[in-house]
Amino acid sequence: MTETLVPGELTLAQLRRLCAPVHVPVQLAPACRKAIRASAALVRKAADGDAPVYGVNTGFGKLATTRIAKDDLALLQLKLLRSHAVGVGEPLPTSTARLVLLLKAASLARGYSGVREEVVDGLLALYNEQITPVIPCQGSVGASGDLAPLAHLALPLIGEGEVFYQGERMNAAAALKRAGIAALELGAKEGLALINGTQVSTALAIDALLATDRLFESAVIAGALTLDAARGSDGPFDPRIHAIRGQPGQIDCAAAYRAIMVGSEIRRSHLQDDDRVQDPYCLRCQPQVMGACLDQMRHTARILMIEANAVTDNPLVFDNEMLSGGNFHAEPVALAADGLALAIAEIGAIAERRIAMLVDTVVSRLPPFLTPDPGLNSGFMIVHVTAAALASENKSLAHPASVDSLPTSANQEDHVSMATFAARRLGIMLQNTAHIVAIELMAAAQGIEFLRPLKTSDALEGVMRLVRSVSPAMMQDRSLAREIAAVHHLVASGDVGRATASQITELHALRLA
């Protein structure tokens, strides 16, 4: 099977498929090639002329007033890639680097960048042959594009830099030779078009968005399991309450919680003679908190998909004119990533509060720290401490990166977005929050054990079985570190959501793609 890339029409669902572990080759929609050829012809015309055109026959950034001789135009592009490939840090994950290849190819293929077809085809050849550029994760301020990381992405096209290929990290020239791909010689503006753009920050943010989508579903399910373990009320989930507020995410989340809880024997057991008037906010306000997070995720998805389909290099080619602008400034990505960071932190924050509630016998009315023999056993006491530590880390990481700016390029680039870090730090936050949700699932499952023989809903009994497949009930203390890791995998992989969504169609409305 081959996926067709239609420049300007990429969807989140398509990118989800292409980010999956199973490799799917791609091809470019033939209709876009005419525009690519036309824009490349205009750049060639400008290169042959005498008028100064930024990035074609001039230097870059603060050196834009320096004219370059016609004989040196190809060398100019080569030196540009080499000089800008100065990233540091660990390589981006392979899945992210491959997404960058796709986004860069799709952007250039819209026909506003002035590159030849060979450049776009070269990027897609790397993708299809699974030759993944080694892209250091640090070194971009998200202003004049993701300059350093995109330079590392582009070097393999000319047979330089490093790549991952067939399970090895190797010199790009060796990988191209092994795959039978010829190195390119760049023409006028092509190096600049390759390194200008927001594709690295956008790919990092989209990767995080897709992971948040999986995490969110698991967090909703974990919250429902905790609600039953704590014998909470389902009254606050009544659709009338949410309808008169009108927030769409809240309405959708409330519907999902109601559907997940249908048929619970535990709920039926305390409908009468329950002396509690109201549950704690961490139970009662789940639709309001998680719904607001869902609305933020949906907004982030809209912004990022606009950016994934955008042309963000400079200068740009329009009919018979080349215009310099600032589309490479990644402020939209930075603000979207910062918003997503807040949502990820809040998903973890309310989950941590539910864990704290479960281990507090005064509130949960379950055995202290969820152990039948407290004192001799500590139960889930320190498991909650781990969740609290992770939630606290997320508070610091959620500080908006977009409010920072350090001028670069001798003050020519005097306001920058910090979008690449804004997106990159989401991965750490997702790991933290997925661990918190995993701990909540384990704690809630432990709470349910004390209510047996009563059963929770059919959907949640399926979740219980899934958790118990890797983490048995704990009636005597043992180390839970490996079990936390195992349940974390169920959360991060989406297995928890898949185990439940097949029965609960209302969960489908929470998915972004």
Catalytic residue among 54, 112, 127, 165: 54
Q: Residue 144: which pLDDT band, with cuts at 50, 70 and 90?
A: confident
Which tokens belong to 203?
Answer: 């790919």
Residue 270's pLDDT band (boundaries 50, 70, 90)?
confident
Q: Using alpha carbons only, give the angle 117, 129, 204 rounded to the nearest 5 degrees.
A: 80
User: Model-level pTM?
Assistant: 0.95
CA atoms within 13 A on the CB side of 369: 17
- Around 325, how many Cα atoms within 13 Å sit in the side-chain half-sphere? 15
pLDDT tops 90 at residue 411: no
What is the C-alpha to C-alpha distance for residues 405 and 413, in angstroms, rounded to an integer?
Answer: 10
pLDDT for 1 equals 85
Residues in the chain: 513
Candidates 350, 308, 333; CA nearest to 400 is 333
* pLDDT, average across residues 132-156: 95
- Provide the 8-state DSSP code for 62: G
54 catalytically annotated? yes
What average pLDDT does the segment 151-165 reach? 98
Give 282's strand partners: none
Q: Given a cut of 80, is residue 409 above it in pLDDT? A: no
Q: Is the pLDDT of residue 413 over 90?
A: no
Q: Where are the alpha helices (DSSP H) in 93-184?
A: 94-108, 117-128, 147-154, 172-179
Written as six digits, the tokens of 34 are 């005419």
Q: How far apart are CA 35 and CA 40, in angstroms?
A: 9
The answer to whether residues 495 and 501 touch, using CB atoms and an 8 Å cutoff, is no
Round to whole Å and give the CA distance between 173 and 163: 9
Residue 285 has pLDDT above 90, yes or no: yes
Average pLDDT, the chain: 95
Listed ranges 144-148, 197-201, 277-281; the one with the highest mean pLDDT: 197-201
Dihedral, CA of residue 242, residue 246, residue 252 and residue 257, to nearest 10: -10
For residue 503, give the amino acid letter: Q
d(CA 381, CA 371): 9
Average the pLDDT over 117-122 and give the result.
98
Lowest mean pLDDT of 114-118, 413-417, 469-473, 489-493, name the range.
Answer: 413-417
Return the percent helix, strand and coil in the chain, to nearest 5: 60, 5, 35
pLDDT digits (tens, 9 = 90+) for 311-344: 999 999 998 899 999 999 999 999 999 999 999 9
What pLDDT score does 504 carry? 92
Are the C-beta atoms of residues 420 and 367 closer than 8 Å to each other?
no
CA 85 vs CA 135, 137, 156: distances in Å: 9, 12, 11
- Can you say how many angstroms the Cα of residue 103 is from the centroid of all Cα atoms in its chain? 14
- Total Cβ atoms within 10 A of residue 166: 12
User: Is 477 in contact with 370 (CB distance < 8 Å)?
Assistant: no
- Please list the residues that pair with 26 across neighbouring strands: 3
Band of residue 208 on the pLDDT scale cut at 50, 70, 90: very high
First vs last C-alpha separation in the chain: 20
**Distance in angstroms (rounded) separating the CA atoms of residues 389 and 369:** 17
Residue 336 CB-half CA count within 13 A:
26
